[in-house]
């Protein structure tokens, strides 16, 4: 297998004071070497390695016993938004060279690989990007993926993450093709704030139209993702929470993450989950609830008055590496085993060179079983500067 440089994943960042992770043997000892002194809590089960996956079901365990359960599929590296925290306009301008069409996997290639991942234990497929709705004829791919069955004969959980800009036009055909649910990204209900955060002044009303269309099409549950960035949208937290609760939407606040290497991320720009929860709790009292399943990334809370729930995805201050069951397939057919990866494993070349399903299964299985990524637990000033692959490229 050809690796796109490096050793695959974020396994060897070599930050000051951190361990080099080589081979499949999990390290022991403290997991936070961060020079930031972020109050990071380690996630459990690093010591669980072996032939069974950590959730006890048949599956493919990695070097820490984490089963391969989720695949995020990036169908394009292009996006019509220029969110400064993801694809800042000054870096990704008119002249930026996105992937040439020939390098992008076809729907048939994506479906074949997704079928192989499914046979290895993947139960959830999330279509993403870039902006996935920017990919022409996306419902055709949805139809292919909806037809996949896992080894138990069950359909996969099929969902999609979108900025919502084209959802009004496409929600119906996506649902008919077999999409089950959708997550829409929206950082504020205030046009000025949302416009600054989407980088193109895209109006909130059009995203809300998309959410309404998704609801009418029967895509459920409907989720909303909100990235919170210091000095940008803290004042949007409560209005969004009230709105989502009233609309029956599942809202997740996401800590601003050091994904990629172009967004100029600084720890000072992160609003920690604890602060987001305190803002919510002061007006809408909360209590924690159990995760829906092992490996769920959002910490979930219910409103004490029984009016709904809200979540926080705290990759920076509460890393969930120990429960991470996600692989990512980029639009150009590279397999990444960590959102913060500096390198991945090329699947497109063997795919296009005529590899059999058995050969591709072996390749993917080998990558996953050697995986020892746990970037968020190792985050430090040194890891921040790594040439990490951009989120829009590897699939957010």
Secondary structure in 3-state letters for the chain: CCECCCCCCCCCCCCCCCCCCCCCCCCCCCCCCCCCCCCCCCCCCCCCCCCCCCCCCCCCECCCCCECCEEEEECCCCCCCCCCCCCCCCCCCCCCCCCCHHHCCCHHHHHHHHHHHHHCCCCEEEEECCCHHHCCCHHHHHHHHHCCECCCCCECEEEEEECCCCHHHHHHHHHHHCCCCEEEECCCCCHHHHHHHHCCCCCHHHHHHHHHHHHHCCCCCEEEEEEEECCCCHHHHHHHHHHHHHHCCEEEEEECCCCCCCCCCCHHHECCHHHHHHHHHHHCCEEEECCCCCCCCCEEEEECCCCCEEEEECCCCCCCHHHCCEEEECCCCEEECCCCCCCCEECHHHHHCCCCHHHHHHHHHHHHHCCCCCHHHHCCHHHHCCCCCCHHHHCC
- Closer to ligand SAM by Cβ: residue 188 or 325: 188
- Closer to ligand SAM by Cβ: residue 183 or 370: 183
* Residue 325: CB minimum distance to ligand SAM, A: 18
* Residue 235: CB minimum distance to ligand SAM, A: 18
* Residue 315: CB minimum distance to ligand SAM, A: 8
- Closer to ligand SAM by Cβ: residue 49 or 125: 125
- Closer to ligand SAM by Cβ: residue 285 or 387: 387
> Rule CB under 6 A: which residues touch ligand SAM?
79, 85-86, 128-129, 131, 161-163, 185, 225, 227, 254, 256-257, 259, 263, 391-392, 396
- Closer to ligand SAM by Cβ: residue 254 or 347: 254
- Closer to ligand SAM by Cβ: residue 60 or 391: 391
Q: Which residue is nearest to ligand SAM (CB)?
A: 396
* Residue 28: CB minimum distance to ligand SAM, A: 30
* Residue 79: CB minimum distance to ligand SAM, A: 5
* Residue 238: CB minimum distance to ligand SAM, A: 19
């Amino acid at each position: 297998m050809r690796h796109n440089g490096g050793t695959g994943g974020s396994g060897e960042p070599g930050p000051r004071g951190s361990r080099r992770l080589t081979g499949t043997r999990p390290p022991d000892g403290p997991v936070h070497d961060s020079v930031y002194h972020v109050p990071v809590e380690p996630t459990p089960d690093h010591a669980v390695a072996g032939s069974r996956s950590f959730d006890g079901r048949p599956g493919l365990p990695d070097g820490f016993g984490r089963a391969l359960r989720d695949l995020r599929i990036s169908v394009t590296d292009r996006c019509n938004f220029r969110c400064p925290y993801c694809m800042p306009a000054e870096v990704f301008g008119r002249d930026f060279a996105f992937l040439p069409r020939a390098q992008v996997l076809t729907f048939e290639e994506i479906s074949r690989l997704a079928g192989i991942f499914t046979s290895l234990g993947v139960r959830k497929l999330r279509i993403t990007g870039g902006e996935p709705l920017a990919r022409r004829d996306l419902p055709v791919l949805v139809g292919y993926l909806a037809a996949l069955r896992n080894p138990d004969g069950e359909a996969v959980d099929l969902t999609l993450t979108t900025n919502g800009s084209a959802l009004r036009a496409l929600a119906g055909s996506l649902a008919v093709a077999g999409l089950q649910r959708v997550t829409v990204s929206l950082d504020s209900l205030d046009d000025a704030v949302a416009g600054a955060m989407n980088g193109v002044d895209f109006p909130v009303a059009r995203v809300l139209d998309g959410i309404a269309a998704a609801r009418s099409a029967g895509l459920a549950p409907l989720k909303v993702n909100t990235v919170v960035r210091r000095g940008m949208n803290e004042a949007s937290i409560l209005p969004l929470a009230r709105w989502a609760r009233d609309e029956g939407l599942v809202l997740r606040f996401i800590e601003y993450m050091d994904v990629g290497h172009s967004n100029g991320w600084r720890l000072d720009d992160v609003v920690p989950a604890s602060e987001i929860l305190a803002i919510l709790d002061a007006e809408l009292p909360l209590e924690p609830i159990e995760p829906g399943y092992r490996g769920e990334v959002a910490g979930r809370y219910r409103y004490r008055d029984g009016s709904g729930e809200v979540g926080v995805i705290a990759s920076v201050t509460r890393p969930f590496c120990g429960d991470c069951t996600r692989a990512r397939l980029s639009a150009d057919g590279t397999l990444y085993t960590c959102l913060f990866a500096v390198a991945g494993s090329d699947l497109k070349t063997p795919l296009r060179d005529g590899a059999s399903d058995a050969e591709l299964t072996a390749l993917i299985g080998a990558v996953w079983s050697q995986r020892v990524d746990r970037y968020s637990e190792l985050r430090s000033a040194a890891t921040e500067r790594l040439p990490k692959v951009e989120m829009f490229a590897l699939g957010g």
